[in-house]
Structures are given as structure tokens and as C-alpha cells.
């Protein structure tokens, strides 16, 4: 009920610009980026934070979401390939759907690669944040589907690694299919004499 | 190894290879080709009667040709499974049976020439890739004379020679005259750490393997002269330094410098010429035997498996992990994990550690017995669908069905949909929405980017798995490149719709980049083929409209190619500088006129 009512109104976006210690803040003027973001349409709150991913960082964003009744969040920090799951969990903990989050990559794609040009890096950071706000505005909540799963593992290769993995899985009650291209398992390890550092037999 | 053979929950297929993988995390259908063994695996007691009568003698691969075996043989004494195997290409006895001596000798009747290769399909939820490594073949490093001189061996051949179960029962003798060598030299970094021949990376295990070998030698023969030619000794692991020190204490000589040439002496020994790094002097060392500490390479099967499972490789050719520090055993493909040398050269302890980690990561995914799927999938807007069938045609996963004849709207099987978005980009009627990467969401990003001073900016589309990750890698490596580029992430380059490009140029973008995984490496099987075709189509149209086609660039950048990403950015910036404000405004005008003519 509340959700459908919300969607009729304008989105309420929170923007959090992370310093990542000095990783971002040494090159990018995070305060300026946050200030710019605060002026954007639908942005209710925009702040710079020292470490968004830290426990206190996440806590303060969560509190903000609740206090300002936010329904969309932009975290301008590092690569989403690293911390998107972290921040999705964070917004979920604040009662929002995890898919209404977007990240602007101010570290890998900006501060770390334009270290000698802080002004241009800050300009770029503002653009990336602006783009992220534009995107987050129309993000929709999504629900994952639950699918059945086969509790079996294929292990390709019967050398020491394949053998160890197969045994660990099988000893834990999982079925294993072990495929080895040679006529016997053991791989390169079986050909070795003594092995370091213990100087004992390989087989 | 025996534990694997008798474990009730492990189904072992030897002489087998994975030839096809279909499906997705939780439900992979794996096709396995099991080659015929010609010996009944369950019945054979490994009595060896067959081998005694077999007339065919061949080099034994397990001993690297240092001994011989028959055409019916046991791979090695403690082999699992213990059953014998026939190499059918060597055997004289099949069809029509001209030999069949082994059949007569086998009391239990285990030998069967009518066995044929089998294709088996297994359904599994997770996959662990543990394909290991291959030792470097030093043939191309002719200066060491591996193929020319009999007493120059690889480290693996040496292993067989000192092994109590090996061809000489552990007696160290040199191949040319079967005499005990009085001096042995080891050459390090053969095929490793070289920009010229072999590989540029460190193979990780060769230093300690050589240290170990010197200890074994000193144990066998304390008087033997043992010399190691090296660049650095990398004894970094737990207990390694102690072993290295012990080796030095026992009188092994470590000489910094790799040999320039190796010559054979009349008595079969070799003369090694080396510049001693400590003294700077050119030295000659006469040695009875020389061992080349060969490096580790990815096995040949790597690329095929990579294509089958949609995995990525590092520039070294080993499998690339999802994250080098935080997800070191996960593949970027969900449900696939790495163990051992498949992911990079490593020793036994590291392989075992990683294998246990991979097993636990697989268990973590499986223990609930169900899996929640990523909701980033495509959705058909039924009212707009014209049932043309284009989406079904381009879907790499066959996740869309359309009955073109009956004109029923397309249906997406969300369980099979992996979320590349190619269907949405290819649909001419706007009848497919790609959730989380909708047209509106992406176009809004383009507009926000080009809202101010578009002439100074480069709009770049990057796929999540390769090019965006390649940009991340450039960042992690602190590679500096011009700051004008702004990336828009899509899951796959196949998602980049023609209209995103036109929108970019219409809003004044001087240069646009579309980037994705290399052809053949696409995370979504072959979706980037459609990217390539689409960009070619746009190039043609640009040419026709009088817009310089170079302004739209297509580049394939892998997750490991940070340097390439930075180079592409430099190239794009040079290109951007060549685009004048007049050219941009002309393009904007052209597209406005074109838009009017269409409507």
C-alpha cells in the first residue's frame, strides 16, 4: 500500500560520496561532489562519508534512509563489482528493495586513474554521480526467483586439487562426479618423488 | 587416491573428457565422453598376466619415456582405478583379431575389444575446475641442448629417475651410459620469467622443487657435486627457507646466473658456460648431468573449457578468478569454482588449500537445496510484440520462445535467461524490457552525461564482466589515462541498443565507445557477435548520413587487460581532439533532419 503510494510521488534519493580514507578524497573533492549532488532534482539528502562500507558508515546511511524516508540510494565510492552486494544488503536492512541502489565508481574509474589532475577528476566524479542519480531515479524493485538445485558437483581433473575437492565434498555428504582424462587419477603429483616442505612421498 | 576410488559418493570417470555443458548454476547438464578402456574396470584384479604376454613395447608416458610398457598396461603401480588399460592405437589385436594373446591370458575374461566410447550426461549443481597444468617443454630453448644431449633432462624426468618406484628404482644414473653421475647441475627458470622464450611469469614451484631435489641427491650421495644456476631463489613459504639453508649447508653450490650455452663433451658430460653474477666472470662448469627446472603452463584443454563454461583467462592463460583477493576460488560464472594450478601455478599445499576452499564455496551454494536467481532478466511487453522471432534468434541461451507462424507473443523463460539484454537491444518494436538495464535507465545516464559540455566528454559503454572489469583493473594498477571518459555499465555489450548510440551523437557526443569481452570470451556465450554486427550496421548508416564512422569505436577489452583499457582511453582522447565543434553541431543537425524524415 505504502509502496504504491510512494511510486506516485517523486522519488526520494539519498547520495553518499565516500572518501575511502584518502583513496578517493586525496584526488577528488568529495565535499564538492556531495554538494553538487544535493542540488540535483529529487535528491533529498547528499553527504560525504569517510568509509561508506564500514560498519559506522553503513549504519549512518541506514539511519538516514529511515529518517528521510528515502526510497532510492546512490553510493559514490568504489567499483560495484566489489561492493554492490555490500550496499544492496545495507539498503535491504533499511527495509528497501536491494535493486533500488546504484553505485558511481569514483575510485577504480576516477581517483586512482587521474591522480595527477584533481580538478578533472572532481569534474568526472560529479558527472559519474549525476549519471548515477539519473539512473537510480527510474530503478525498479525486483524480486529474485527461487529455483531448484541439484546437490551434486562435477570436478574436472583428478590431480591433487581435484581429488581433495572431491573428497571434501563427498565427506560432507554431497555426490561428486569426477572426470579425469587420463586412465588413472593422481595427475602430476603422482609423478613426483618426495615433496617439499615435508620431504615425504607424494602418493 | 584410493579414498576416491572407494568413496560411495564419488563417481569416477577416467579416460573421460567434458565435451559440452548446458544450463546454469544449480542445473548444469554436462556431457562427458568416456573413451573405451577395453578392460572391465570392475572385474580386472590387476594381476598383470595380460601384460606378460603382450608383444607390443612402447615408451612409458608415466616415466616420461625413461622406461617401457606394453600396449596393455597399468598406468603406474598405485593407479586408481587399478584396472589395466589398452592403448588401442598400439594394440595388434582388434578387428580382425590377429594377436589377442591378452584375451587368452586373462582368466577372468575382463578384456573386451568390442567396448566403445560412451557419451554420458550428468546433471550437477556446481562445477569445480581442477584441470591442473602441463610442464614446459624446453625444446625451443635450444641453448640448453635438451633435444641434442642425452644427459640434459627436465626436472620431471629427474623426478622419475630419483623415485624409488621409478625406472631405476631410485638409483640416480645418467641416461647415456647408465653410470652414476658425480656432478649434477640445475638450471632454474626454464620457461619462466622470460620475455624471450617460454612465459613471463614465475612458475612458483621450481625453486623449491630444485632445493628438494638437491636434498634428495645429498641424501643418496653426500659426495656428489651439486650446482644450481639461478636468478633468485624464491623460498617464500612456510618451512621453505629452512630447506634452502639445509641445502646450502650440505654443500650445494648456488651460483647466480643462468647459463648462456651448454656443450656436450666427448664423455657425454656437458660444459655449461655462465656469467657468474657475483663476480662478473665468465665461468665454465663441467657436469655429468644437467637438470632443467621447467616451468608450469596452462594445459591445452583450458581454452575449450573456457568457452564451454563462459570463463575468463588471465594474460598468462590461466583461469581468471572473480576477484583476486576476495573471491580467489570463484569463477565469474556463478556455480563454477577453481582449484589448483588451473587458476595459476602453485605447489601441493596451496592446491590442497584452494581445493578445500572451492569445495566449501560449492557447498555454501548448494546446502539449501535451492537457489535464488538473479532477477536481472528480460521481460516481454506483450501488447507491442509482433512475434517476429528476432529475440529468440539472438538469445544465446534459447531462453525465448516465439511461435512465428501462429503469431503468439514471445515468452521468456526467466530461469534460463542470463540477463545479457541482447534481445532488448535487437527488438525493433520496443517490446522487450531488460530489467535493471532498461532503455530509460540507460538513456537517462547518457543525457545526464552529455547535459553540460558534451564536446569534452567520451561516452563509453562497457560490459560488466570484461571491459568494466578491465577498467577496474587499470584502476587497481594505478594506470593513468585522460579523464574525459565516462563509463556506462551494461551486463553485456550485446545490450547496447542502436538508439543509445544515436542519442549520444544527437546530444553532441564527439566520440562513443562500445566495449566488451573478446570474441569467443563472451560471458554470455556469443552475445557479443550481435554487438559486432550491430556496430557494423551503425557504421554503415553513419557513413551514409555523412557522420565519420571512426567516431563510434568498438573495442574488445578483457578483465585482465588494464593496460589495454588505458591505451584505448588514450586513443579515444586523441580521436576526440580531432572532432571539431562544427563537426559535432553538423552531426546534431543531420540526426535532427533524419529523425524528422523517419517520423
- Ranges of H-type helices in B250-320: 302-309
The segment(s) of chain B belonging to CATH 3.40.50 are: 437-598
Query: What residue has cell string 590431480?
Result: A159
Sort out which chain B residues have CB atoms less than 8 A from A152's CB and list them: 122-126
**Touching check for A1 and chain B: CB below 8 Å?**
no
Q: Which residues, in sequence order, are bridge partners of residue B128?
A: A155, B337
Residues 6+ apart with CB under 8 A from B491: B376, B419, B420, B421, B437, B463, B464, B465, B524
A163 and A64 in a single domain? The answer is no
Edge-first strand listing for the sheet containing B152-154? B152-154, B289-294, B183-190, B225-230, B253-256
A98 touches chain B (CB under 8 A): no
In a 3-state reduction of DSSP, which class is residue B190? strand
Taking contacts as CB-CB distances below 8 angstroms, the residues of chain A near B437 are none
Question: For residue A133, what is the nearest residue in chain B, using CA coordinates?
Answer: B445
Q: Which residue has the cell 528497501?
A: A96
CA-to-CA distance for B272 and A30, rounded, in angstroms?
61
Radius of gyration over every alpha carbon of chain B, rounded to an integer in angstroms? 30
Same domain flag for A57 and A102: yes
Q: What residues of chain B score a pLDDT lower than 50?
A: none
Residues A43 and A126 in one domain: yes
Interface test with B, best of A175, A183, A185, A186 (most B CBs within 10 A): A183
Residue A144 lies in a domain: no
Q: Over its length of 203 residues, how does chain A's per-residue pLDDT go in tens digits?
A: 445 454 457 999 999 999 999 999 999 999 999 999 999 999 999 999 999 999 999 999 999 999 999 999 999 999 999 999 999 999 999 999 999 999 999 999 999 999 999 999 999 999 999 999 999 999 999 999 888 999 999 999 999 999 999 999 999 999 999 999 999 999 998 888 888 888 877 66
Maximum Cα interatomic distance, chain B, rounded to a whole number of Å: 93
CA–CA separation, B484 vs B458, rounded Å? 6
Please check whether residues A37 and A89 belong to one and the same domain. Answer: yes
Architecture of the domain made up of B134-297: 3-Layer(bba) Sandwich (3.50)
CB B481 within 8 A of CB B566: yes
Kindly state whether residue A64 falls inside one of the protein's structural domains. yes
The pLDDT value given to residue B100: 85
**Same-domain status, A23 and A81:** yes
Please answer whether residues B380 and B432 qualify as being in contact, where contact means their C-beta atoms are separated by less than 8 angstroms.
yes
Residues from chain B contacting residue A203 (CB–CB below 8 Å): 1, 78
Please indicate whether, in this complex, the C-beta atoms of B489 and A80 are within 8 angstroms of each other.
yes
Between CA B584 and CA B591, with CA B589 as vertex, the angle to 5 degrees is: 95
Task: Kindly report the number of other CB atoms within 10 A of residue A119's CB atom.
Answer: 12
CB-based contact A112 B476, cutoff 8 Å: yes
Pairing of strands B253-256, B225-230: parallel
Q: Is residue A105 part of a domain?
A: yes
Give the pLDDT confidence score for residue B97 in this predicted structure: 59
**B437-598: CATH architecture:** 3-Layer(aba) Sandwich (3.40)
Note the pTM of the prediction, 2 decimals: 0.77
Within 10 angstroms of residue B201's Cβ, the number of other Cβ atoms is: 19
Q: Where in chain B is the domain with CATH 3.30.70.20?
A: 374-436
Written as nine digits, the cell of B595 is: 529523425
Q: Which of B354, B238, B333, B343 is nearest to B299 (CA)?
A: B343
Q: Give the domain-ending residue among A90, A113, A137.
A: A137
Using a CB-CB cut-off of 8 Å, the residues of chain A touching B122 are: 152, 154, 177
ipTM, 2 dp: 0.81
Q: Given CA atoms B158, B160, B163, B164 in this order, what sign does their dihedral have? A: negative
Q: Does B326 touch chain A (CB under 8 A)?
A: yes
Structural domain total, chain A: 2
Q: CA of B10: which chain A residue's CA is closest?
A: A176
Q: Is B340 on the interface with A (CB under 8 A)?
A: yes
Whole-angstrom CA distances from A82 to A176, B144, B322, B329 are 31, 46, 10, 15
Nearest-Cα distance to chain A for B433, in Å, is 12
Residue A93 located in a structural domain: yes
Rounded CA-CA distance B395/B525 in Å is 10
Interface of B with A in 257-316 (CB under 8 A): 301, 305
Q: What is the CATH number of the domain that holds A106?
A: 3.40.50
Question: Looking at chain A, which residue has its C-alpha nearest residue B296?
Answer: A188
Fold of B374-436: Alpha-Beta Plaits (3.30.70)
> Is residue A145 a part of any domain in this protein?
no
Give yes or no: residues A193 and A120 share one domain. no
Instruction: Inspect the interface and report whether the beta carbons of A113 and B480 lie closer than 8 Å.
Output: yes
Contact B375 A143 (CB under 8 A): yes
Q: Indicate left, alpha or beta for B83 from its phi (over 0: left) and psi (-120 to 50: alpha).
A: beta
Residues of A in contact with B343 (CB under 8 A): none
Distance CA B580, CA B165 (A): 75
Residue of B15, B163, B373 with shortest CB distance to A145: B373
3 state DSSP class of B505: helix
From residue B409, how far is each of B187, B277, B338, B406, B439 by CA, in Å? 68, 75, 41, 9, 20
Yes or no: say if B98 and B55 are a contact pair by the CB < 8 Å rule: no
Q: Is residue A142 part of a domain?
A: no
Q: Does B325 contact chain A (CB < 8 Å)?
A: no
- Which grid coordinates belong to A188? 602430476
Question: A89 with A173, same domain?
Answer: no
Other CB atoms within 10 Å distance of the CB of residue A156: 29
CATH 3.50.50.60 domain residues, chain B: 134-297
Grid cell 577453481 in the structure block, residue: B338
Residues of A in contact with B16 (CB under 8 A): 179-181
Please answer yes or no on whether A144 and B374 come within 8 Å at the CB atom. Answer: yes
pLDDT at A195: 85
The span from the CA of B489 to the CA of B486, in Å, is 10
Window 447-466 of B, Cβ < 8 Å to A: 447-449, 451, 457, 464
User: What single string gives the DSSP state of each residue in B100-163?
Assistant: -HHHHH-TT--B-TT---EEEEEEESEEEE----EE--GGG-GGG-TTT-TTEEEHHHHHHHH-
- CB-nearest partner of A193 from B216, B438, B457: B216
CA atoms within 13 A on the CB side of B9: 18
CA distance A59 to chain B (A): 23
Q: Which of B17, B159, B355 sits opposite A161 (nearest CB)?
A: B355
DSSP A189: G
Q: Does any CB of chain B come closer than 8 Å to the CB of residue A112? A: yes
Contacting residues of A for B375, CB less than 8 Å apart = 99, 142-145
Same-domain pairing of A93 and A164: no
* Residue that finishes a domain, picked among A137, A161, A182: A137
Show residues of chain A in contact with B31, CB under 8 Å. none
Show which of residues 144-163 on chain A sit within 8 Å of chain B, judged by CB atoms. Answer: 144-163
Burial grade of B41 (CB within 10 A; 0-12, 13-18, 19 or more):
middle
Q: CA-to-CA distance for A94 and A85, rounded, in angstroms?
A: 14
Using alpha carbons, select from B459, B442, B441 the residue that is nearest to residue B450.
Answer: B459
Write the CB contacts of B157 (distance below 8 Å, at least 6 apart in sequence): B64, B66
Residue B298 φ/ψ, nearest 5 degrees: -65, 145
- Residues A26, A115 within the same domain: yes
Give the closest of B75, B238, B351 to A161, CB-based: B351
A194 is in which domain, residue-wise? 152-201
Statement to judge: residues A122 and A188 lie in one domain: no
Grid coordinates belonging to B94: 582388434
Estimate the crossing angle of helix B439-450 against helix B498-506, to 10 degrees.
Answer: 20
Interface test with B, best of A155, A158, A185 (most B CBs within 10 A): A155
A169 and A100 together in one domain: no
List, as one string, the DSSP characters of A107-142. IIIIITT-TT-HHHHHHHHHHHHHHHHHHHHT----
User: What does the block give as the cell for B455?
Assistant: 564536446
> How far A1 CA sits from the closest chain B CA (Å)?
23
Note whether A98 and A48 are same-domain residues: yes
Distance CA B393, CA A80 (A): 31
- Please say whether the beta carbons of B155 and B258 come within 8 A: no
B173: which strand partners? none
Residues 97-126 of B with CB under 8 A from A: 122-126
Strand order in the sheet with A72-77: A43-49, A13-18, A72-77, A101-105
CA distance A29 to chain B (A): 15
Which pairing describes strands A72-77 and A101-105: parallel, antiparallel, or unpaired? parallel
Amino acid at each position: 500500500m505504502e509502496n504504491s503510494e510512494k511510486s506516485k510521488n517523486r522519488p526520494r534519493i539519498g547520495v553518499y560520496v565516500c572518501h575511502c580514507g584518502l583513496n578517493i578524497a586525496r584526488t577528488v573533492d568529495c565535499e564538492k561532489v556531495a554538494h553538487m549532488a544535493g542540488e540535483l532534482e529529487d535528491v533529498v539528502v547528499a553527504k560525504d562519508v569517510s568509509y561508506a562500507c564500514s560498519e559506522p558508515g553503513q549504519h549512518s546511511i541506514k539511519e538516514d534512509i529511515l529518517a528521510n524516508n528515502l526510497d532510492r540510494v546512490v553510493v559514490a565510492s568504489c567499483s560495484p563489482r566489489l561492493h554492490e552486494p555490500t550496499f544492496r544488503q545495507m539498503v535491504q536492512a533499511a527495509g528497501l528493495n536491494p535493486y533500488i541502489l546504484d553505485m558511481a565508481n569514483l575510485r577504480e574509474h576516477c581517483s586512482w586513474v587521474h591522480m595527477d589532475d584533481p580538478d578533472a577528476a572532481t569534474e568526472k566524479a560529479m558527472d559519474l554521480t549525476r549519471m548515477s542519480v539519473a539512473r537510480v531515479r527510474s530503478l525498479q524493485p525486483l524480486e529474485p526467483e527461487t529455483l531448484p538445485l541439484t546437490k551434486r558437483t562435477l570436478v574436472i581433473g583428478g590431480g591433487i586439487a581435484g581429488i581433495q575437492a572431491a573428497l571434501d565434498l563427498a565427506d560432507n555428504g554431497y555426490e561428486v562426479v569426477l572426470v579425469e582424462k587420463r586412465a588413472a587419477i593422481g595427475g602430476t603429483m603422482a609423478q613426483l618423488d618426495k615433496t617439499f616442505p615435508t620431504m615425504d612421498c607424494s602418493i | 587416491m584410493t579414498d576416491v576410488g572407494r568413496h560411495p559418493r564419488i563417481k569416477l570417470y577416467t579416460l573421460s573428457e567434458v565435451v559440452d555443458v548446458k544450463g546454469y548454476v544449480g542445473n548444469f547438464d554436462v556431457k562427458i565422453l568416456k573413451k573405451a578402456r577395453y578392460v572391465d574396470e570392475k572385474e580386472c584384479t590387476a594381476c598383470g598376466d595380460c601384460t606378460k604376454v603382450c608383444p607390443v613395447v612402447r615408451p612409458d608416458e608415466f616415466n616420461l619415456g625413461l622406461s617401457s610398457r606394453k600396449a596393455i598396461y597399468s598406468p603406474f603401480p598405485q593407479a586408481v582405478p587399478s584396472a589395466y588399460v589398452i592403448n588401442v592405437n598400439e594394440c595388434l589385436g582388434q578387428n580382425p583379431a590377429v594377436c589377442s594373446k591378452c584375451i587368452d591370458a586373462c582368466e577372468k575374461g575382463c578384456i573386451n575389444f568390442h567396448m566403445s566410447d560412451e557419451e554420458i550426461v550428468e546433471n550437477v549443481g556446481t562445477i569445480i575446475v581442477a584441470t591442473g597444468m602441463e610442464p614446459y617443454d624446453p625444446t625451443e630453448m635450444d641453448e640448453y641442448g635438451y633435444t641434442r644431449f642425452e644427459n640434459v633432462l627436465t626436472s620431471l624426468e629427474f623426478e622419475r629417475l630419483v623415485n624409488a618406484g621409478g625406472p631405476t628404482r631410485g638409483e640416480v644414473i645418467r641416461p647415456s651410459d647408465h653410470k652414476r653421475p658425480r656432478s649434477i647441475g640445475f638450471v632454474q627458470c626454464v620457461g619462466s620469467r622470460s620475455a624471450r622464450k617460454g612465459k613471463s611469469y614465475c612458475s612458483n614451484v621450481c625453486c623449491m622443487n630444485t632445493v628438494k631435489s638437491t636434498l634428495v641427491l645429498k641424501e643418496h650421495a653426500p659426495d656428489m657435486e651439486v650446482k644450481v644456476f639461478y636468478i633468485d631463489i624464491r623460498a617464500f613459504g612456510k618451512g621453505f627457507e629452512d630447506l634452502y639453508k639445509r641445502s646450502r649447508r650440505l654443500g650445494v653450490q648456488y651460483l647466480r646466473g643462468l647459463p648462456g650455452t651448454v656443450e656436450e663433451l666427448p664423455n657425454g658430460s656437458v660444459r655449461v658456460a655462465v656469467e657468474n653474477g657475483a663476480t662478473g666472470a665468465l665461468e665454465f662448469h663441467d657436469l655429468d648431468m644437467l637438470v632443467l627446472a621447467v616451468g608450469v603452463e596452462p594445459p591445452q584443454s583450458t581454452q575449450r573449457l573456457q568457452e564451454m563454461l563462459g570463463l575468463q583467462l588471465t594474460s598468462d592463460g590461466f583461469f581468471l578468478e572473480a576477484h583476486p583477493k576476495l573471491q580467489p576460488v570463484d569463477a565469474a560464472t556463478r556455480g563454477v569454482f577453481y582449484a589448483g594450478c588451473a587458476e595459476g601455478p602453485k605447489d601441493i599445499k596451496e592446491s590442497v588449500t584452494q581445493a578445500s576452499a572451492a569445495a566449501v564455496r560449492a557447498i555454501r551454494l548448494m546446502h539449501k537445496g535451492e537457489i535464488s536467481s538473479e532477477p536481472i532478466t528480460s521481460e516481454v511487453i506483450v501488447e507491442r510484440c509482433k512475434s517476429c522471432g528476432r529475440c529468440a534468434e539472438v538469445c544465446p541461451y534459447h531462453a525465448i520462445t516465439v511461435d512465428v507462424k501462429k503469431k503468439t507473443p514471445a515468452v521468456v523463460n526467466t530461469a534460463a535467461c542470463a540477463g545479457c539484454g541482447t534481445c532488448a537491444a535487437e527488438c525493433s518494436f520496443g517490446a522487450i524490457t531488460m530489467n535493471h538495464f532498461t532503455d530509460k535507465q540507460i538513456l537517462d545516464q547518457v543525457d545526464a552525461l552529455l547535459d553540460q559540455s558534451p564536446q569534452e566528454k567520451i561516452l563509453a559503454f562497457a560490459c560488466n564482466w570484461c571491459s568494466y572489469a578491465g577498467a577496474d583493473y587499470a584502476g587497481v594498477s594505478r594506470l593513468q589515462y585522460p579523464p574525459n571518459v565516462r563509463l556506462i555499465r551494461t551486463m553485456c555489450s550485446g545490450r547496447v541498443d542502436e538508439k543509445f548510440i544515436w542519442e549520444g551523437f544527437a546530444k553532441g557526443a564527439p566520440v562513443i565507445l562500445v566495449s566488451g569481452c573478446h570474441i569467443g570470451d563472451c560471458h554470455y556465450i556469443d552475445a557479443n557477435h550481435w554487438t559486432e554486427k550491430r556496430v557494423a550496421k551503425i557504421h554503415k548508416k553513419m557513413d551514409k548520413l555523412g557522420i565519420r564512422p571512426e567516431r563510434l569505436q568498438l573495442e574488445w577489452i578483457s578483465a585482465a587487460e588494464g593496460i589495454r583499457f588505458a591505451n584505448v582511453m588514450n586513443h579515444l582522447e586523441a580521436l576526440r581532439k580531432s572532432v571539431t565543434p562544427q563537426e559535432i553541431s553538423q552531426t546534431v543537425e543531420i540526426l535532427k533532419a533524419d529523425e524528422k524524415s523517419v517520423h
